[in-house]
Amino acid sequence: MDKDSVRCMTRAELIAASEGMFGSRWGRPLARLLGIDPKGIRMWKRGERRIPDWAAAKIRLHSEVGPIGAIVRRSIIEMVPAVDAWDAHQVAGRVVAELTNSGLVPAPGLVAAAKTFSLRPKRTPRVLLGRRDQTHSS
């Protein structure tokens, strides 16, 4: 990725993307995702340091689920209030990937999301498993 193709990430974009992925307490989870000290995240949030291009690119890559993914994520959080925001985001990304790969959603903007979220789950969110088990066991 060349320098000209990456635009600077603003504080507002950082906050919006991070809250979308992790909810209101997004600092530490974002630091873990990026492999950096949470102190750096706090500096970016306060505007004390510029958000590096590599971090902006990674945040954008992981946060982009498109409008369909945002609707799915919001629906998951509304229907399963105990679900972790990151788990809801991961499930939404998976849904977008499945829709894109099946050809049901041909929008070119969703191709990046389909590549970001693996179709092979690393783990199933605990809350969703617990809910599914309770629902199907009756």
Same domain, 24 and 47: yes
How far, in Å, CA of 96 to CA of 82, rounded?
A: 22
Over residues 65-123, the pLDDT tens digits come to 888 888 898 899 999 989 888 888 889 989 988 988 888 876 545 445 555 555 444 55
| The last residue of a domain, from among 17, 43, 63 | 63
Write the CA distances from 1 to 6, 44, 63, 105, integer angstroms.
8, 22, 18, 26
Q: Residues of the chain with pLDDT > 70: what percent?
A: 72
Q: Do 70 and 115 have their domain in common?
A: yes
Please tell me whether the overall predicted TM-score, pTM, comes out greater than 0.85 for this model.
Answer: no
CA distance 132 to 91: 14
If asked whether residues 58 and 77 sit together in one domain, one would say no
Spatial contact of 110 and 96, defined as CB atoms under 8 Å apart: yes
Percent of the chain with pLDDT over 90: 37
How is 37-77 classified by DSSP, letter by letter? -HHHHHHHHHTSSPPPHHHHHHHHHHH--HHHHHHHHHHHH
Q: What is the CATH number of the domain that holds 14?
A: 1.10.260
| Domain co-membership, 34 together with 93 | no
